[in-house]
Structure 1
Amino acid sequence: MKYLYYNGLKFTRDEDTGYYLNSSIGKRIHRYVWEKEKGAIPKGFHIHHINHDKSDNRIENLELVEAGKHHSYHGEIRAITDYDNMIKNLDEVARPKASEWHGSAEGIAWHKKQYKATKDKLHEKVVLTCEHCGERFSNIKRTRFCSNKCKAAWRRESGIDDEVRVCVECGEKFTINKYRKTQCCSKSCSNKHFPRLPQLKNMIDS
């Protein structure tokens, strides 16, 4: 509906926002109703439509909500109900404009200025302690290990890459690094399941 009436005043629907406004008093109907029924609206608070219907301005459908929580709530609702349009807007409008600006003379100048202001901090070395060997070392970025060797050793010892497999020979479960191709739980099972391998090895050795 285009118009709503309350307390002898006429409120007209704003097609952009969906709210009803009386331009003479400069107030939206939901705020006006709250003030008439409940009193002044505290600073930093909004009036929320409980059923999300902006034409339903009964006092039972209105509640006082902190502005920050109100913005967050409606942001979450939009993300759920209008997700496709939000992504479309990002892909077709926001990202192209951002890319265009970053590649413009103004954008390049801004990046150069930011780099100049932070380059010393970016290349500043910090003293760290290796989580595997305990040795202290310095690096321009925060890392947990002094070398790839220590990183690999830590991963092996921690078992972070381990997985449980079932032996193809005896059916028992065993734990093995997920990057290894081992199919048996032991050499004994491997020799039973792959009987030609020991023979081939003997032939090669002889």
Structure 2
Amino acid sequence: MSRTCIECSAPISREGYRCRSCAARHRWATNREPERPYRTHEGIRYYLQSDGYYRASRHRGGELQHRAVWRTERGPIPEGWHIHHKDGDPGNNDIANLEALTPLQHLSVEHGDRGPMPDSTRARLSAAKRAWWLGRQSSERVCDECGDAFKTRATRVRFCGPSCNTRYWNRQKRAGAGGAGLGSDG
């Protein structure tokens, strides 16, 4: 007795209702968990990002969901305007929680009535940061790759230069590909 696949009508020579390829496809589709949480809006998936916003995939333009919701419910967003979450929760994309603001209005909402930083203040702070960095004492370090001593003003430097950095990470990559794994003493 010859049976046929319930999906593609191909002949089946084994137990079950599907041929091997349809059965594999069915198992993959039904057992697959989404890689990360998502929401849909007008048939497009918006995936949760680490900053709490929902964004469409890159091949869909990477649009933020709250902007799509605004455009659907209220029409086009004026050029350069921001869509603000009134309650501060970037995951709450209900239209009642969204408002369109100019960049200056958005800045004052986010940072109080201070408004944007004046150029004179920005220049003064930049000069202070530069003076702090230049006045910082150099410390002596030992390169993790070659073992040579070197001086630096930075706090988290591990290598004396880019060549040692590259050599170290290439060696780590080869060790990981060979099954030893990163951080092994092998």
For normalisation by structure 1, the TM-score amounts to 0.37
Q: Which has the higher helix share?
A: 1
